[in-house]
Structure 1
């Protein structure tokens, strides 16, 4: 069929144009609707509510804002969903989607877990941790170790505060350590037990009450910044300036299936949030360690350096014991030796005599 009438052709085209324009206008005017609900994750940290504000919550808030509705991470604090000792298994089982913790107290089933948290005298300063992981090969070793574990992907390790004693009794000699009941990490406690320290494990929220009732004599868990932040400075009286390690090494873990299901841009965004958390802690802890020593709420005590050196020498023997547990552990110990030797050779400000 043909349309011979020119007028009819013009009317037809005119009407068709109006309909098309109207349809386009209707399409442009329609509100934007997301195709699906946001991805939701549950992340549990090792930290209690007050500490989590600084060690993870700020970066998760930034992530949620930057994700712009595509993804939301719900944050849970220490023991809120699962006990700390079951944290790794919970990520593996998919009970929670992600975790922030050290390998040691989360009971990660890898040989390198002993180097998480506070491996005795492995570091002197907070910057030692990222230097070891990014420039001395620990990152690749951690990737290798966790690649052998089904269901969990290790993403990153960063540094926290040093590890000092905060106690109700003064410590001015190695002998004063004998019989002290302290809340501490598995490997750190294992090392300090040879000096008479009694490691105690209990839920995070029970630490302060246990010190008040005399069940605990204190903590060997953190630096002075954390003691003030979480309220432990209100229940202990003394702070030993000799650290058993210069920085806590903490990691981020995710459920592998959930991680692989994320689009690449959200994976990158999450890694950036982790890095922002690492950076914030570096300056927050560093500034706080000096600030709270100077404020004088806790009385500072010290073990003389010649006597403290005996503890450092014991750490060297402890390193050899750990190295004998697996070839990979031996490799980590060799890296720690190499790194510390390089720092000592470099001299101040890397190491002081």
Structure 2
């Protein structure tokens, strides 16, 4: 074999390698553009109206969309925008929605533990009680077990919102003042408060302020004072009762199971981080607002004496026992809540003050 031919072969191999490397480089450069052409699109509806959603849901969604870098985009919709609140869970199950942010109770989740979503009467004192119960006292595993029995929906995470207090057009200064009050509240809250003569009223969320103005409602027992101001209800209210029905709302994120499984693992991880971002933002936003709006004085603060309010607290424990009798799993949740509160009382300040 001549040197000329050998050199030609070497040149050929060298040129082939260079050409191949160039082709690989071109493909690598083109890859981001291919991904950007077809992002995964999701529709998420929150329980919250537009003004409130800016704080309880939007920060997490915006953080996710930014960090997903074009691979996935979540479109956020507010209360009743695509489906009524009472049909929210079924909409996720059917695939009409890809995800939802709500409490189990008002979304009509078909599980026995839904009664513990939103505000389970007097179960918590502070917003940190909720993540403590879920992450460190076993409620997370119970929720995973409960929702594993429901086809089509995957429960992802629960977090805390604001406390639940009465905002009213009439002052509440004693237990007797609750009798006959027409109040907008959540399902389980209405069931409990009716024991004290409260008349629960069901209305679309966006109709509440007008109903307060016209006298159709005497008040709300749906949120804390931060939310009353944020959504405009404080404009139609006059009084705020400082005795809480509960120290924190417990809300969750739900996703359609098939849609969730189709999301790459790194985006699933990113979505869970965005949920945690949402949980954290609410913790400090609500906490700061509860003090701020009480001090501003737009609503007159009233308080039922502690000896009278103890009647509500005692009735709550009876209510817990009734709920516990509904299923073995409900009984397990009630037992965890009881033991948790006992441990907080035993721990003393700042966990519980006498």
- Is TM more than 0.5 here? yes
Alignment of 1:226-245 (within 5 A): 226-245=227-246
Q: Could you state the TM-score of these two structures normalised by the residue count of structure 2?
A: 0.95
Q: Residue 34 of structure 1 corresponds to which residue in structure 2?
A: 34
2:86 equivalent in structure 1: 85
Q: Which runs of 5+ in 2 are unaligned?
A: none
Corresponding position of 1:143:
144
Distance, in Å, in 2 between the alignment partners of 1:80 and 1:52 is 12
**Cα pair distance change 1:13/1:148, threshold 3 Å:** same
Which digits, 9 at most, give the CA deviation of each residue in 1:15-34, with x for residues without a partner?
Answer: 77557645644653575232
**Count of paired positions:** 350
Measure the CA separation in 2 of the matches of 1:98 and 1:47. Answer: 14
The answer for the alignment partner of 1:294 in structure 2 is 295
Residue 5 (structure 1) shift: 5.7
Q: CA deviation at 1:214?
A: 1.3
Give CA deviations for 1:133-171 in whole Å, capped at 9, x if unaligned. Answer: 111111111111111111111111110000001111111
- For the residue of structure 1 that corresponds to 2:57, the secondary structure is helix
Tell me the residue number matched to 1:127: 128
Q: Which residue of 2 aligns with 1:71?
A: 72
Match of 1:285 in 2: 286
- Structure 1 residue 12 displacement after superposition: 6.6
**2:109 aligned counterpart, secondary structure:** coil
Deviation at 1:317, TM superposition (A): 1.0
Residue 14 of structure 1: CA displacement?
Answer: 4.5
Are 1:46 and 2:43 an aligned pair? Answer: no
* 1:99-138 → structure 2 map (5 Å cutoff): 99-138=100-139
Matched residues in 2 for 1:337 and 1:179: separation? 31
Q: Identify the residue that residue 329 of structure 1 maps to in structure 2.
A: 330
Q: Secondary structure at the match of 1:233?
A: helix
**Partners of 1:170 and 1:226 in 2: CA distance:** 19
Shift of 1:207: 0.9
Q: Displacement, 1:210?
A: 1.2
Aligned residue for 1:293, secondary structure, equals helix
My pick for the range that moved more, 19-28 or 33-42, is 19-28
- Please report how far the alpha carbon of residue 200 of structure 1 lies from its aligned counterpart in structure 2 after TM superposition: 1.1
Instruction: State the TM-score, normalized to the length of structure 1.
Output: 0.95
Gaps of at least 5 residues in structure 1 are none
Cα distance change of structure 1 residues 141 and 26 upon mapping to structure 2, 3 Å threshold: closer
Identify the residue that residue 308 of structure 1 maps to in structure 2: 309
Instruction: Trace 1:336-351 onto structure 2 (pairs within 5 A).
Output: 336-351=337-352
d(CA) in 1 for partners of 2:87 and 2:234? 28
Q: Distance in 2 between matches of 1:10 and 1:212?
A: 94
- 1:13 Cα deviation from its structure 2 partner: 5.2
1:50-61 correspondence to structure 2 within 5 Å: 50-61=51-62
What is the aligned-residue RMSD (CA, Å)? 1.6
How far apart are the structure 1 equivalents of 2:128 and 2:13? 69
